[in-house]
Amino acid sequence: MGSLRIIFRLAWRNLWRNHRRTLIMLAAIVIGVWAMIFMTALMRGMVDDMVRDGVSVLPGHVQIHHPDFRDDPTISNVIEPPSGELLEVLNRPEVVAWATRVRVPAVISSERDTRGVTLVGIEPDRERGISFVADDLNEGRFLDSRDDRGLVVGRKLVEKLETGLGKRVVVMSQDPENEIADRGFRIVGIFDSKLAQYEEGYVFGGEGAIQDLLGVGDAISEVAILGTDYRDVEGLHRIVADAAGPDVEVLPWNELDSYLGSMLAVMDGFVVVWIVVVFLALSFGLVNTLVMAVFERVREIGLMLALGMTPRNILSQILVESILLLVIGLAIGNLAAWAAIEPLKDGIDVSIVGEGMEYFGAASVLYPALYIKDVILANVIVIVLGFFASLSPAWRASRYDPVRAITKV
């Protein structure tokens, strides 16, 4: 214990022998750590927002539908409403919310224009807990019941159709006999979504009213199920699949939306790569600082070796200097990153590049997400790689010949 205390004191003293060089290296570590954590928080926030928005645009965390529905999303590929064992599973505590829907391709026409859309029949009470439409309603009212004959449409679609709240439109689709099914509806609500394509692409009506339009009785297109955590849906997927049986297809959100699933996986890998790349840039400065510190103390190190200090202690002293430098830089860098992220929790307006963000499925307001696990990962990687980066100069110092080191001019 005594030798460790001495090594620590020597390392601390030597670290501040050339305080200017140490401060410059500390500044580089602080900026690097700040950049690691801050940029990771921005990327996490963007991906989390994309996933949450993607999940709220109907998939839920797990979805049940006809095996052929994804390839041919028509009214011919429908399933029966939940019952029996499946209904019991859907009422378990691990299921936060669930809803049935009828979803078909359709055409909506106003007096001015016609657009292709996805027509979604919903149960309003159940849908509030799952999808975005009720939360994003900006004008008018939401659907009152599953038999409501009104429509809730996006603002962009209203503008394209040159219509408005309270106006009548005609919705056309195909029934199970491949005949045209059409009916007039009144626009009762208008929603504003974070992404323009949602406003243009989806039209919501009462599930009963849409079933009546298509003549399918109580048949539905899908069941959307929301769990507690979009990152951990495997358990929920398994119990729902077991209860639903082999006649339907049960998929988690990351298979329903492979783009978002890939984005999440890529982001998890990107965090590690980003931290390693930033540290590799910092490691050159760290190694240079330690090499210069060793070079300036060649005679001193030789004298300590001649007086009986073991090469292992010399090695430990140089490594402790490196770890102290890294720990101080990490502490300040972590604090700086938190101080930079905290004021931005209400979001960063990136609407100036909004169209580009929407292309990737991201909103025009970016909410940084600071995860403890990312901070821990950054700190651990920096300490571990810093230790290995310091081995070379530390090993070199411990290998000095005492006589040559003392006599070196």
> Looking at this protein, which amino acid is placed at residue 318?
I
Euclidean distance between CA atoms 229 and 94, whole angstroms: 10
| 218 and 334 assigned to the same domain | no
Kindly give the pairing relationship between strand 249-252 and strand 62-65. antiparallel
As a whole number, mean pLDDT of residues 187-207 equals: 85
Mean pLDDT in the chain? Answer: 81
More confident residue, 1 or 140: 140
Tens digits of residue pLDDT in 333-342: 899 999 988 8
Mark which of 219, 253, 287 sits at the end of a domain: 253
pLDDT at position 171, please? 93
Regarding whether 199 and 145 lie in a shared domain, the answer is: yes
* Cα–Cα dist 104/89, whole Å: 27
For the stretch 76-87, pLDDT in tens is: 888 999 988 999
Q: What is the pLDDT of residues 228-286, one digit of tens each?
A: 877 778 888 899 999 988 889 998 887 877 766 776 777 777 777 777 777 777 777 66
End of a domain among 253, 281, 305?
253
Do 47 and 64 reside in the same domain of the chain?
A: no
Question: Which of 253, 273, 307 is at the close of a domain?
Answer: 253
Could you tell me which of 71, 131, 143 has the C-alpha nearest to residue 98?
131
Same domain, yes or no: 203 and 109? yes
Q: What are phi and psi of 63, to 5 degrees?
A: -135, 140
Same domain, yes or no: 79 and 212: yes
Q: Are residues 330 and 246 in the same domain?
A: no
Range of lowest pLDDT (42-51, 72-81, 85-94): 42-51
Torsion angle of C-alpha atoms 151, 154, 155, 161, degrees rounded to 10: -70
User: Are 287 and 334 members of one domain?
Assistant: yes
Query: How much of the chain, in percent, has pLDDT values that exceed 70?
Result: 87
Pair (118, 248) in one structural domain: yes
- Residues 343, 399, single domain; the answer is yes
pLDDT at position 346 is 75
The number of folded domains in the chain is 2
Q: Which pLDDT does position 352 carry in this prediction?
A: 52
Amino acid 263 reads: M
The region of weakest confidence among 61-65, 123-127, 180-184, 389-393 is 389-393
Same domain, 319 and 373: yes
Domain extent for 151: 60-253
Q: Are residues 284 and 394 in the same domain?
A: yes
Task: State whether 8 and 88 are in the same domain.
Answer: no
